[in-house]
Amino acid sequence: MFMKAPDKYEYWPTSKFLKVKCHDCMNEQVIFNKANIIVKCLICGSTLALPKGGKARVKSKVLAVVDSKYRKRERNG
């Protein structure tokens, strides 16, 4: 389900969910990398990602990439 995130990233080429860690409160949260709104930490309200050119610019640490294909396959059993 989770793939290891590369060391360097900023933009992802396709739609994916990213598991990120808030640098302020260490909360782990899954965000969508094509978010067109500012994504904020649910715990402390710190900005996790900013919309830019149709893709989210992730401001926080990416722990893993969640591929939607794997999610769908898992749901179907």
Q: Which residues bind Zn ion (CB under 5 A)?
A: 22, 24-25, 27, 41, 43-44, 46
Min CB(48)–Zn ion separation in Å: 8
Q: What tokens appear for 28 in the block?
A: 């782990």
> Which CB sits closer to Zn ion, 17 or 27?
27
Residues 71, 14, 28, 38, Cα dihedral to 10°: -130
Provide the minimum distance between the beta carbon of 19 and Zn ion in the complex, in angstroms, as a whole number.
14
Judged by beta carbon, residue 22 or residue 56, the one nearer Zn ion is 22
Q: How many CB atoms within 10 Å of residue 48?
A: 25
**Of 33 and 60, which has the nearer Cβ to Zn ion?**
60
Helix or strand (DSSP H, E) at 49: strand 47-52
